Structure 1
Amino acid sequence: MSNESSSKRKRALTVLLGVLIACVLCGCGYLIWQQFQVFRAQQQMQGAAVPDTPDDGGELQENPIDFNALWENNVESYAWVYIPGTQINAPIQQSSTDDFYYLTHDQNREGSPVGCAFTQSANSLDFSDPVTVIYGHDTDGVFKNLHYFEDQEFFDQNDTFYIYRPGHVLTYTIVSAYKYDDRHILNSFDFSKASVRDEYFAYVANPDSMLKCVRDGVELNVDSKIVQFSTCMLDEYHGSSRYIVTGVLVDDQETK
């Protein structure tokens, strides 16, 4: 082999090694960035003050969520969810341009693999729809701890969650938590029809699922308004199933 051929081979190997090192460094850098995003998302929820829950004293209370402060960071933060016992305590977003925007962006509109809690444009912003679906990632995401409700004892002991919006605190009783398929709920059912709502609510109250917890004594009717939290199964990241936790509106308290 000539010296020239040997030199070319060495240069090619050097270039290849450089590319491999660059790829490894980029991969490591992405993993570090991803873990930082996970850490930041967890800190945001853990650092958020636990909102006051409704007071039956009769006087108009201050809303515990400072929406003006939220809007300084993101005008699309339109509500707040607090689920006692789960450490889920975070704002809810709805993008005006892209239904999937908050799968890859955090509550401050910064790119993040963790995303945040969000609804899609098919839902109104006042939770007046028969069915509101709130989405969020499970693995290290905002809804990871929804899977606590897979445990029957935890489900039995934690029956309430709250949604705060300007001028209102909404109280929900948790009806059921179950494994479901990955269909798009709002696109799959015409909830404007009473017969469809009646059938769907009957399923929610007693889902046909091997993995489910159901609360006895909670009734749904065609006029009920439910919120469903939807996330992936922990062992099926972006798989064919979803985990759904459902609550029915039981109180709407006005605030200042």
Structure 2
Amino acid sequence: MKKLIFIVAALILLAVAGVTAWQVYVPIHEDNVSVNAYEDLRQFVQVPAPEPTIQPDTSSSLELTTSPSSEPEPAPSPAPQVDFESLRAVNPETVSWLTIDGTNIDYPVAQHSDNDYYLHHLFTGEWNSSGCLFMDCNNQAEFSDSHTIIYGHHMDNGTMFQNLMGYKNKSFYDEHPTAHLFTPDGTYTVEFFTGYVTSVDGDAWKLDFATDAEFEDWIVNAKAKSLFESPVTPIIADRIVTLSTCSYEFYNARFVLLGKLTLEVSS
């Protein structure tokens, strides 16, 4: 009898150890799969090589009439180019690509018919708790609304929208005041003007505004809640994008980072 009890106890311990090992393995495995999947997608974002700088010919014996300080300014770095045709071959629900220079945020954005699917699916459609950055299902995919929301998980491994936590400090905002939003119709600079912690019951996710005055009040109130100071002050004609992720100050807390969209003009 004692031998039987020992065997049963041993089997129970083995089962518990197996379950524990599985619970440790699954998140690590999912993290690795997610990181590799999004790294593979970055092949569709190409940064063109800068054009070579032409140096002036100084071999002539004639004296130069220009002063040494009048050298031409260096040309701006070429903007990345996103292959949306290839991205949509992977996922027809592609709407944009979001990049915040100097952070880990460099991902495609998709939009499903609900706001649940991409909480648990990668951009490629594979089930994964890392999910995918996704636009609110009630927004227009062309970013034509006055207010558009993009959601993303706060992952412990520093991926997805975890880096948004840095905007709780002004020094981080000063180093990363803008983002780039690439769409099939053009590229936008996102000029951040406020970031704050709020409840899921707050008005950060309001999409419909009855009047211009209501929209203006919403912008003013959002800016007043900011954890950093920004010189950017949107007007009612601007389009606003909100980046939203989980925060942990209290139950169901969220951190939202708002910016105004400015269309970049191609040179």
Q: How far, CA to CA, are the matches of 2:110 and 2:253 in structure 1?
A: 23
Equivalent residue number for residue 82 of structure 2: 65
The residue number in structure 1 matching 2:259 is 247
Counterpart in the other structure of 1:3:
none
Equivalent position to 1:39, from 21, 32, 51 = 32
**Judging changes above 3 Å, is the alpha-carbon distance between structure 1 residues 123 and 233 closer, same or farther for their aligned structure 2 residues?**
same
CA drift at 1:46? 5.6
Question: Does structure 2 conserve the Cα–Cα contact (< 8 Å) formed by 1:180 and 1:243?
Answer: yes
Give the deviation of 1:17 after TM superposition: 4.5
| 1:86-101 correspondence runs (5 A) | 86-96=103-113, 98-101=114-117
Task: Measure, in 2, the Cα distance between the counterparts of 1:174 and 1:30.
Answer: 38
- The alignment of Structure 1 onto Structure 2 pairs a total of residues equal to 235
| Residue type at the aligned position of 1:244 | V
Which structure has more relative contact order (CA 8 Å, sep 6+)? It is 1
Alignment correspondent of 2:148: 132
2: CA distance between counterparts of 1:21 and 1:228? 48
Structure 2 residue matching 1:242: 3-state secondary structure: strand
Runs (5+) with no aligned partner, structure 1: 1-5, 56-60
Secondary structure (helix, strand or coil) at the match of 1:90 reads strand
Deviations 1:70-90 (A, max 9, x none): 122221122110111212100
Relative to the length of structure 1, the TM-score reads: 0.79
Q: Report what 2:211 is aligned to.
A: 193
Is 2:200 the counterpart of 1:179? no
% identity of equivalent residues: 24
Look up the SS of the partner of 1:36 in the other structure.
helix
1:116 aligns with 2:137: no
Look up the match of 1:233: 247
In structure 2, the gaps of 5 or more residues are 51-77
Instruction: Give the greater-gyration-radius structure (CA).
Output: 2
CA-based RMSD of the aligned residues comes to: 3.0
| CA–CA distance in structure 2, aligned partners of residues 247 and 162 of structure 1 | 11
**Aligned-pair distance for 1:29?**
2.0
Q: Please give the TM-score of this superposition, normalised by the length of structure 2.
A: 0.76
1:214 matched residue in structure 2: 229
The letter for the 2-side match of 1:70 is: L
Would the alpha carbon gap of residues 27 and 124 (structure 1) be closer, same or farther in structure 2, given more than 3 Å must change? farther
Amino acid at match of 2:115: D
